[in-house]
Amino acid sequence: MNTPEKNIIAYVMNLPASVPPSVKAYQKMTGMKYKIMLIRDSKFEVPPSLSGYDILVSCDFSKPHSIAEALFAYKDALLAISCRSEASISRFAKVIPHVPYLRTPTSESLAWATDKYEMRRHFRLFDPKCTPKFTHIKENTKTQRTRSIQKIGFPMIIKPTNLAASLFVTICYHEEELDKALQTAFRKIVKAYEHDQRIEEPKIIAEEYMEGDMYSVDSYVNSRGGISHCPLVRVKTGKDIGHDDFYNYLQVTPTALKKTSIEKAHKAAETAIHSLGLRNTTTHTELMKIDDEWKIIEIGPRMGGFRDELHQLSCDIDHSLNDILIRIPRKPIIPKKCKGFAAAMKWFAAKEGKITEMKGIKKIEQLESFHKIIINKKIGDRAVFARNGGRSIFNVFLYNNERPKLLADIRRLEKLVKINIA
């Protein structure tokens, strides 16, 4: 009797545009034909923009038997399963018990990695020195604020436990600011969760504010806990350029860090990975460098935003391919040297309000380092800070063989662009 060919690679809820080309590249490497499956929640229609899959499976994620029934016909053909969307990881965790024959993270590790309170609790248990002080804020009351102030002190950061992209992340220096920030967060995060089709309960965490330089590292973790790291990314936030917001303003890779410092960063990322028991997955770890020490900000069980583009440009790393390889399992492909330097910039206005003018955006394309621009807003739209749930006006990607030339074009871009707000 012939064994069925395992040739289906499944994705939960969303399918990044980079996946189909990566699957085709793997087909050339292996000489096999693979199919892409998309597993969607039956409560939501498939957006017309979502394409590139061969098989569509719908199920009710709130009913385990629905998931089991939907996947039963494919059990002998499934090769790997992944989830590339932060908002969909909770649904991915619900699928895992029904695919015990595949290499996946555990449902428990995904639950810890998508709840910043549970995440910090496990960091502290593993290594108390690697994480800042933190506490859960259940509601905006005098009692809860006083408790948080006594435990954390000022300045403190408040953030939702389950969101990404720095949404509703706010620094507070006194109780009046804390009160206002909590009012905004508790009022608006429910809508943000609905927008992302999340199934988690919205919660708020308060944590100690750390002052230092922010970095991130994306890594691949195999079934035995072996870890392969991509080049570090230097991250500057809106706070670094004078905005009262923590959105990722600028990301540059590779960094100018010394080898010894990179090794320490890797060790901190490995602490985060092992403390949550993450296996068979890509991870994205955000770190804070304070003098020569490294603290863990947080970790996600997926690649970071813009990282597929940044690492592809600078180092020819195919994140989508490596994300498949680590689950088969195969060794991820990471070149020993990068060919150049890449940057991503996420542009927000300096203040909130109606956009009346967008100057200099077309001139960006004339820069030597220009690669791509994605414009998210137009004149007449409202500019809103990330801490209030807003999205960027535009995102731009740059690449240059020489780091000084890239940095020079970043500076030119900053001078070119002017967003006027009514």
pLDDT tens digits, 196-225: 666 556 678 899 998 899 999 999 999 999
Asked if residues 380 and 344 have their Cβ atoms less than 8 Å apart, the reply is no
In percent, the amount of the chain with pLDDT more than 70 equals 95
Please choose, from the candidates 186, 107, 95, 188, the residue with its C-alpha nearest in 3D space to the C-alpha of residue 145: 186
In this prediction, residue 1 has a pLDDT band, given cuts at 50, 70 and 90, of very low
In this prediction, residue 317 has a pLDDT band, given cuts at 50, 70 and 90, of very high
Report the relative pairing of strands 35-41 and 8-12 from DSSP bridges: parallel
What are the residues facing 207 on neighbouring strands? 134, 157
What are the angstrom distances between the C-alpha of 23 and each of 96, 328, 413? 22, 13, 35
Buried-state track 201-227, b at ≥16 Cβ within 10 A, e below 16: ebbbbbbbbeeeebbbbbbbbbeeeeb
8-102: CATH topology is Rossmann fold (3.40.50)
In this prediction, residue 160 has a pLDDT band, given cuts at 50, 70 and 90, of confident
Report the relative pairing of strands 341-347 and 293-300 from DSSP bridges: unpaired
Domain limits of the chain? 8-102, 108-125+211-339, 133-208, 340-422
Residue 246's pLDDT is 85
In this prediction, residue 251 has a pLDDT band, given cuts at 50, 70 and 90, of very high
340-422: CATH topology is Aldehyde Oxidoreductase; domain 3 (3.90.1170)
Tokens (6 digits) for 170: 């706010």
User: Euclidean distance between the first and final Cα of the chain, in Å?
Assistant: 72
- CATH number belonging to domain 108-125+211-339: 3.30.470.20
Tokens (6 digits) for 417: 């662009």
CATH class of 133-208: alpha beta
Asked if residues 280 and 223 have their Cβ atoms less than 8 Å apart, the reply is yes
- On the 0-12 / 13-18 / 19+ scale of CB atoms within 10 A, 187 is exposed
